[in-house]
Amino acid sequence: MSNPSSKGAALITGASTGIGAVYADRLAKRGYDLILVARNEQRLNALANRLRGDTGRQVTVLPADLNDRAGRAKVEAVLREDSNITVLVNNAGVGSVASILQADVEDMEAMIDLNITALTRLTYAAAPAFAARGQGTIINIASVVGIAVEVLNGVYGASKSYVLSLGHSLQKDLGDKGVRIQTVLPGATATEFWDVAGYAAQKTSAITMSAEDLVDAALAGLDLGETVTIPGLHDDALWTRWEEDRRALGPKFGNAKPAARYGVA
């Protein structure tokens, strides 16, 4: 990208609508140039034109299907090669409300490809470049169902548990190299996600947050230095205790003998 801004550029996946489009708006207003990634080129161009007019930032449209190997490779190459990129927002994802007895396994594999494989490959493309420059931010959009895994489809919940676990590991690996990692766990959010997932009624539920509020809270969490941001969790002490208990449990796994309850001599 030419004429780099002082803040650099943010590459946002799933940027054509919903949470991704709001991230694009907010980051442009914060002074970032943008690279917008999604399948729908028409929507991307409409958003890019609006943001150029509203903010004066440089906005590049990068149509790509992240479920397709060639599409992923195109975005990976940009992340590796464009030194102006300072922020990656891994937002693209798909969900389902179907149980294992209802869901098609091909659809579940496609969900894994997008929610896990694409996010992982883009992170692996960006992280070495950010670490080499000593700066960069990776924002991975997970979900509260990564913890409350029984709520929706099991593969979807498991894919978001993966994103949360990956974030913890990335923080360990990259935190001392100038690379910031934030994992965002939205609850129900009023986007087209629910139309695709097969439960459009959730968009108007009393517990459903607007995409604007979700992103504004997530960016406020980033400003506060949070590594995990859960906008809908009002009592943050609950998360602190959860994390303390999880980390305290780890050292207790290291035993050469099975526990007495199993009766192994």
Supply the residues annotated as catalytic.
156
Encoded amino acid at 52, one letter: R
The CA distance from 103 to 153, in Å, is 9
The DSSP bridge partners found for residue 189 are 209
CA distance to 22, 207, 210, per residue, from 188 (Å) = 16, 7, 9
Encoded amino acid at 208, one letter: T
Encoded amino acid at 213, one letter: D
Contact call for residues 240 and 48 (beta carbons, < 8 A) = no
SS3 38: strand
